[in-house]
Amino acid sequence: MNTFAGGSIESVLVEKRVFPPPVEFAKSARISSMEEYRTLWNRAKDDPQGFWNDMASHLVWRKPWDKVMEWTEPHVKWYVGGQLNASENCVDRHCVGPRRNKAALIWEGEPGDRRVLRYQDLKREVGRFANVLKAQGVTKGDVVAIYMPMVPELVIAMLACARIGAPHTVVFGGFSGEALAGRIQDCSAKVLVTADGGFRRGNIIHLKEQVDEALAHCPTIRNVVVLKRTGHQIHMEPGRDHWWHEMASIASADCPPEPLDSEHPLFILYTSGSTGTPKGILHTTGGYLVGTTLTASWVFDLKEEDTYFCTADCGWITGHSYLVYGPLSNGATVVMYEGAPDYPDKDRFWQIVQDYGVTIFYTAPTAIRAFMKWGEQYARKHDLSSLRLLGTVGEPINPEAWVWYREVIGGGRCPVVDTWWQTETGAIMIAPLPGATPTKPGTATLPLPGVVPEVVTKSGEPVEPNQGGYLVIKQPWPSMMRTIHGDDERYRRQYWSEIPGVYFTGDGARRDHDGNFWIMGRVDDVLNVAGHRLSTMEIESALVHHKAVAEAAVVGKPDELRGQAITAFVTLKSGYQPSEDLRQQLRQHVAHEIGALARPDDLRFTDALPKTRSGKIMRRLLRDVAAGVESTGDTSTLEDFSVLARLRHEEE
Ligand code: ATP
Ligand code: MG
């Protein structure tokens, strides 16, 4: 290991396994060779305007644009003067010709109820709900908040908003009334779409109760539309609350899509809150849809006959871009599931894959680590032979989890696409093209065409291969965020000021000699041990490599002598018990895998790690636990407060 100046991060992880695309897969893939990929990428880099001009032809436009891009750092406009409608692109255009009878959404509720909406059905329901929204006084530009369980009406509501030009803000159905109120207040939503409740692990989630609490503090909300999902008794506020089914029964299904300017706001979405207070990320119509449409087709290699299952909730960007807009714009069949992955048992996803013949499966590392912890017998119970492609997003995936995913779920035959992107980027930025890119466990590999990332020092100098640094993007791209809603100053400061002239992602990365990008986690999480800057992710991956470990989170604890000491929080796989002996073994294991410098000074066993509702480890809270101080930061997106309380208690 070398030490180097300029704020670079040292890399200690060595991964040599390489998996080229399966020959059969590559034969029929949309992009089927590295040569094809490089040609596209180079063209996009050398002539971004020409490239993105051509790529926009994958959408239906009402009016062509006058100018492809206008860039006044840090603000960008794409397809200036053009007009289109996102719901028309996701629905109406598939309703002419044979696709009109194709399943757009295959939905399964947690209790086992099932529904299929063909493209024609989706068009009718979206049109009808767009008319309901109009009847509630929603006009172009009004923000509509959506707080629902994962039911088809959530997708219908999003597309209905898009149809009439009302930006939506989807708030995850697991959030509290307080978190909901904060988001509604921040974006001044006028109407709220919700449900009486939803099902989770066999229980009812009482959404409407949370709504009633939230709305005491949200004067901008005039009307609430309530879907009956669970059927339990709820309060309906006269004059404010209206049943979805009653409104829909008197609304016409015919609502022509409104032609909207390319830069018309499509949605505001709050980030996961892993690193601080969630930010209201604003995305607009044309560029976002071009980005999500293309990347869904490239990275998931979507074909007419695919059945695509994305396990993300629509409350996160993955649900927006790769459950709704990207796949539907491509005319794909999307599988949507309402509930928990372990209800009624830990094989629920595999039952769904088998029952619907899912071909493409997209999930998060946190889920994969849970599957590993539960054991492979759950997957083995089902026929998963329909699968042809696997994807992951949300956190760096530990190489052991990657290999497990490929072998146990993918039967060793499916390419794995590790997709790096952010709420802010709107669409996938760095990922393998499954028919072209050789993959290695733990790297998101190469940038997609039109994406020009680099790894640099704090002052913007490129670093040498295999040295860690700050991940930045050097050229604007169509699906990038336009601003933080209501806080353009924070937009400038956070993304465009840290490192001169480029978009700063907030993530650390290194690039290997083949050009692959290895995401090393958040820059804020980087450890500083005796002058060495180490990535938490690499130490965690070394721990997860041990057969007893299910999950690990590593943070720094202030240390007078060395700056920081390394504290590791570890959860064990079923069948293993915490012991002093295992603790020493694991510390030794890290030293052996990556060097004595990375050996955790302190290693603590725990049942669970604090995570965001989107499943990301919240290291900032663990830092406080390690240091023995109270957390003062935003905890509104914490999944389970009891985890934090237990960790603190274990301290005492
Ligand atoms: P906040 O910005 O509020 O702290 P967040 O960054 O977790 O929350 P998201 O936009 O949902 O909110 O997540 C984007 C981040 O997730 C990325 O910046 C990166 O740190 C991480 N991430 C996503 N996909 C990957 C991946 N494939 N590999 C590594 N990290 C990933
Ligand atoms: Mg972020």
Q: Which atom of ligand 1 is nearest to the CA of 279?
A: 3
The predicted pLDDT at position 497 comes to: 95
* Dist. CA 276 → ligand 2 center (Å): 9
Q: Is 418 in the pocket of ligand 1 (CB under 6 A)?
A: yes
The whole-model pTM stands at 0.95
Please state the φ and ψ torsions of residue 166, each to the nearest 5 degrees: -100, 110
Q: Which residues are annotated as a binding site for CoA?
A: 200-203, 318
Rg (the chain; Cα; Å): 24
Domain membership flag for residue 276: no
Question: Is 602 among the domain residues?
Answer: yes
Ligand 1 binding pocket includes 272 (Cβ within 6 Å): yes
Instruction: Give residue 1's pLDDT.
Output: 32
So what's the pLDDT on residue 7? 59
Residues marked as binding for ATP? 394-396, 418-423, 507, 522, 533
Angle at 154 between CA 153 and CA 158, to 5 degrees: 110
How far, rounded to the nearest angstrom, does the alpha carbon of residue 239 sit from its chain's CA centroid?
Answer: 37
Query: Which ligand has an atom closest to residue 518 CA?
Result: 1
Whose CA is closest to atom 26 on ligand 1?
A: 420
The ligand 1 atom at the shortest distance from the C-alpha of residue 316 is: 11
Residue 499 included in any domain: no
Alpha-carbon gap, residue 354 to 306, rounded angstroms: 14
- The reply to whether 558 falls in a domain is yes
**Rounded Cα distance, 329 and 290, in Å:** 9
Distances (CA, A) of 454 to 48, 446, 450: 17, 11, 13
**Is any ligand 1 atom within 6 A of the Cβ of residue 85?**
no
Q: Measured from the CB, is residue 317 less than 6 Å from ligand 1?
A: yes
How many domains are there within the chain? 1
116 is a domain residue: no
- Known binding residues are 200-203, 318, 394-396, 418-423, 507, 522, 533, 544, 546, 549
Query: Binding site for Mg(2+), residues?
Result: 544, 546, 549
Please report whether residue 644 resides in a domain: yes
Residue 622 lies in a domain: yes
Q: What angle do CA 491, 493, 494 make, to 5 degrees?
A: 70
Q: For residue 300, what pLDDT is reported?
A: 98
Q: Which ligand lies nearest to the CA atom of residue 540 in the structure?
A: 1
C-alpha of 228 from chain center: 28
Task: Write the ipTM.
Answer: 0.99
Atom of ligand 1 nearest to the CA of 519: 29
- In short, whether 525's Cβ falls inside 6 Å of ligand 1 is no
What is the rounded CA–CA span in Å between residue 171 and residue 314? 8
Atom 1, ligand 1: which residue's CA is nearest? 273
CA distance 586 to 598: 12
616 Cβ closer than 6 Å to some ligand 1 atom: yes
State the Cα–Cα distance between residues 406 and 402, nearest whole angstrom: 6
CATH classification at residue 580: 3.30.300.30
Question: Counting ligands in written order, which one lies closest to the CA of residue 312?
Answer: 1
Q: Which two tokens stand for residue 463?
A: 């670093």
In the chain (652 residues long), the average pLDDT of successive 10-residue segments reads 49 82 95 97 98 98 98 97 98 96 98 98 98 98 98 99 98 91 95 97 96 97 98 98 98 98 98 82 98 98 98 96 98 97 97 98 95 95 98 94 97 98 98 98 97 96 94 98 97 95 96 95 87 88 94 93 92 94 96 90 94 90 91 81 81 54
Ligand 1 neighbour 442 (Cβ under 6 A): no
Length of the chain: 652
In a domain, 605, yes or no: yes
Q: How far is the centre of ligand 1, averaged over its atoms, from the C-alpha of 324 (Å)?
A: 19
Q: How many whole angstroms separate alpha carbon 89 and alpha carbon 644?
A: 44
Q: Which domain holds residue 599?
A: 530-651
The finding on whether 522 has its CB within 6 A of some atom of ligand 1 is yes
